[in-house]
């Protein structure tokens, strides 16, 4: 049998340690979670944020905070590696980020959107990606204060992706521009 496609063992993947991850330079990407209600989704954001080497995650509003067993179940330890902060107000968080020179991109469907595949980003400019509640999406007041609305193209009968799936799609589209 030809072993060209042998699955690698975890120890063969050459991943960095938690300490090395914390010290390495991060991509200039911040995730902002606006009232995410599912603890599993929150954990998935941490795991995806770790995989894509993001700077930080802001947990806003009703979004749950670690430690919590349901977050840890999907995060698989990423709550220990990805920097995070809780903020009551998503709007205040957006204003703070904008005052620090961060471009704010909200993932939503509005009258005027930038389709994800046409989004321009040079990989140097810091960006914050804002993701919303599983039922109601991003609050309108948050949409109103962001720099740009980004939409993921869809071709089926459903009108949305799971919010944590959206994070994976958007992060890969951004990061592939610079790796």
Q: What is the band of 2 on the pLDDT scale with cuts at 50, 70, 90?
A: low
pLDDT at 4 over 90: no
Q: What is the CATH number of the domain that holds 38?
A: 3.40.1280.10
Tens of pLDDT along 73-84?
A: 999 999 999 999
Q: Which residues contact 82 (CB under 8 A, 6 or more apart)?
A: 46, 49, 50, 54, 56, 57
Q: Is residue 88 part of a domain?
A: yes
DSSP state of 139: -
Q: What are phi and psi of 3, to 5 degrees?
A: -100, 25
Instruction: Give how far the C-alpha of residue 71 lies from the chain's centroid of Cα atoms, to the nearest Å.
Output: 15
Name the token pair of 172.
Answer: 């890969």
Q: Whole domain around residue 57: which residue ranges?
A: 19-175
Q: Is residue 3 part of a domain?
A: no
Name the percent of the chain in helix, strand, coil, to the closest 5: 35, 20, 45
DSSP state of 104: E
3-26 average pLDDT score: 92
Lowest-confidence region among 7-11, 103-107, 165-169: 7-11
Average pLDDT, the chain: 96
Contact 64, 89 (CB under 8 A): no
Q: What is the band of 1 on the pLDDT scale with cuts at 50, 70, 90?
A: low
pLDDT at 30 over 90: yes
Lowest-confidence region among 5-9, 40-44, 110-114: 5-9
Tens of pLDDT along 47-92?
A: 999 999 999 999 999 999 999 999 999 999 999 999 999 999 999 9
Q: Is residue 14 part of a domain?
A: no
Q: What is the pLDDT of residue 3?
A: 63
Q: Is residue 124 part of a domain?
A: yes
Report the domain count for the chain.
1
Q: What percent of the chain has pLDDT over 70?
A: 98
Q: Is residue 13 part of a domain?
A: no
CA distances from 33 to 5, 43, 75, 89 (A): 38, 12, 15, 11
pTM: 0.96
Q: Is residue 12 part of a domain?
A: no
Tens of pLDDT along 132-177?
A: 999 999 999 999 999 999 999 999 999 999 999 999 999 999 999 9
């Amino acid at each position: 049998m030809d072993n060209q496609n042998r699955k690698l063992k975890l120890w063969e993947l050459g991943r960095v340690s938690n300490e090395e991850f914390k010290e390495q330079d991060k991509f200039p990407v911040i995730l902002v979670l606006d009232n995410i209600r599912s603890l599993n989704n929150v954990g998935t954001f941490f795991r995806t944020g770790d995989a894509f080497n993001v700077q930080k995650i802001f947990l806003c509003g009703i979004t749950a905070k670690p430690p919590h067993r349901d977050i840890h179940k999907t995060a698989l330890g990423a709550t220990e590696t990805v920097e995070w902060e809780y903020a009551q107000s998503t709007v205040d968080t957006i204003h703070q980020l904008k005052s620090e020179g961060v471009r704010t991109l909200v993932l939503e469907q509005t009258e005027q959107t930038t389709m994800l595949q046409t989004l321009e980003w040079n990989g140097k400019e810091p960006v914050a990606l804002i993701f919303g509640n599983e039922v109601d999406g991003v609050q309108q007041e948050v949409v109103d204060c962001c720099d740009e609305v980004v939409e993921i193209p869809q071709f089926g009968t459903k009108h949305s992706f799971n919010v944590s799936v959206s994070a994976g799609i958007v992060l890969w589209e951004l990061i592939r521009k610079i790796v």
